[in-house]
């Protein structure tokens, strides 16, 4: 079963809880960033590394992580070959 995890994007402790890289089986597959909006709770912006289409906002980090997982699983089910190609290009530095 695929394993999803996340860790800080930057080593700077100031950003450890607001900028996260999302991994699936050790490969980065997305980003989650906290965006303050002047209210008590800000928004979490999320995106995948393989598609500009798969992005949005969420009310919590866990919701954003779940949206990345769902997007990945949808691509994996609907178009696994294209997902593999896009991830390969991302990880080889070609975009």
Over its C-alpha atoms, the chain yields an Rg (Å, rounded) of: 14
Position 95 scores a pLDDT of: 47
Position 23 scores a pLDDT of: 87
> Domain range for residue 30?
4-91
Specify the number of domains making up the chain.
Answer: 1
Give the separation between CA 55 and CA 26, rounded to whole angstroms: 21
Position 65 scores a pLDDT of: 92
Give the pLDDT of the chain (95 residues) as one tens digit per residue: 568 888 877 777 676 678 888 888 878 888 999 988 777 778 999 998 876 678 999 999 999 999 999 988 888 888 878 877 877 777 676 54
Position 24 scores a pLDDT of: 84
Pairing of β 19-24 and β 43-48: unpaired
Report residue 41 CA to chain centroid gap. Answer: 20
* Strand segments (E) across 9-85: 19-24, 27-35, 43-48, 55-58
Position 32 scores a pLDDT of: 93
């Amino acid at each position: 079963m695929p394993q999803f995890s996340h860790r800080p994007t930057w080593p700077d402790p100031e950003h450890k809880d607001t900028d996260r890289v999302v991994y699936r089986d050790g490969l980065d597959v997305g980003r989650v960033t906290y965006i303050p909006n002047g209210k008590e709770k800000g928004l979490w912006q999320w995106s995948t590394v393989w598609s500009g289409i798969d992005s949005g906002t969420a009310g919590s980090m866990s919701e954003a992580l779940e949206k990345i997982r769902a997007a990945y699983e949808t691509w994996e089910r609907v178009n696994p070959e294209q997902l593999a190609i896009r991830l390969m290009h991302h990880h080889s530095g070609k975009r």
